[in-house]
Amino acid sequence: MMQLLELFPTIVAVFDCDTFDSDAPKWRSEIAKAIKERQERHGALEYQTDDRLHERLELAGLINFFRRCSAEYMQALKYRSGIELRLECCWATALVGEGDDCSEILQHANSFLSGAFYLDVDEAAKPMIFRDPRPQNRAFNIPVEQELRINRKYYAIGPSNGRLVLFPSWLEHRVRPSLSDVPQVSLSFNMTAHGRL
């Protein structure tokens, strides 16, 4: 009899915001304002805000959603209840068309938990790609007859408006934009762990 053990699994959580339809217009307005402020400050066309969005009162409801989901993630993984997650930075990016494709694999150094929230995407938006963090597993490209969680080298999570994807900050990922001329607007954030670790 064979026993399969999934050792050291990597947990990514996906949440859909219940209040998205009613709250999104004010969040969109605030993000547009933040992008415009940065453009005026730098005197150039900008597609990203600064990383202090979590300090804006107009986004307090959205930031609370991020915190609630992060706490639920910690509970689901049975981390000790005394661990405090602090949201250290939060920024928005507006990507447009194929030319903005970020082919680079990213990690969020010096953080514990990271998130990506989709504020505006359409049906042409590409998924977020996560890469197997085990480099030796990627050394051999052995074909599979059926793709399973345990034999994948990459995993894609499709974006949709109001969707939050939470993942360990060390997990390698690639962010890909919409193929349309409509900007894909997403918010990203990093959290650090504090308390008796």
pLDDT in tens, 15-31: 999 999 999 999 999 99
Look at residues 153, 127, 145 and name the one whose alpha carbon lies nearest to residue 10. Answer: 153
pLDDT of residue 44: 75
Distance CA 119, CA 140 (A): 38
CB 50 within 8 A of CB 38: yes
Whether 154 shows a pLDDT value over 80: the answer reads: yes
pLDDT of residue 96: 72
Would you state the structure tokens that stand for residue 96, as one six-digit string? 């447009």
**For 105-153, what is each residue's pLDDT tens digit?**
888 989 999 999 999 998 778 899 999 888 887 778 888 999 888 888 8
Give the DSSP H or E segment for 68: helix 60-76
The residues, any chain, with a CB within 8 Å of residue 105's CB and separated by 6 or more, are 131, 172, 173, 174
pLDDT of residue 139: 79
pLDDT of residue 141: 82
Amino acid at the residue 109: A
**For 59-90, what is each residue's pLDDT tens digit?**
999 999 999 999 999 999 999 988 999 999 99
Topology adopted by domain 13-138+150-194: Jelly Rolls (2.60.120)
DSSP, residue by residue, 91-140: EEEEE-TGGG---S-B--TT-SEEEEEEEE--TTBPPEEEE-S-GGGGS-
Give the pTM.
0.91
How does the average pLDDT of the chain come out, rounded?
89
Domain boundaries, the chain: 13-138+150-194
Provide the strand spans (E) within 54-95.
Answer: 84-95
Query: What is the rounded average pLDDT of the residues 51-65?
Result: 97
The residues, any chain, with a CB within 8 Å of residue 128's CB and separated by 6 or more, are 116, 156, 157, 159, 165, 173, 174, 175, 176
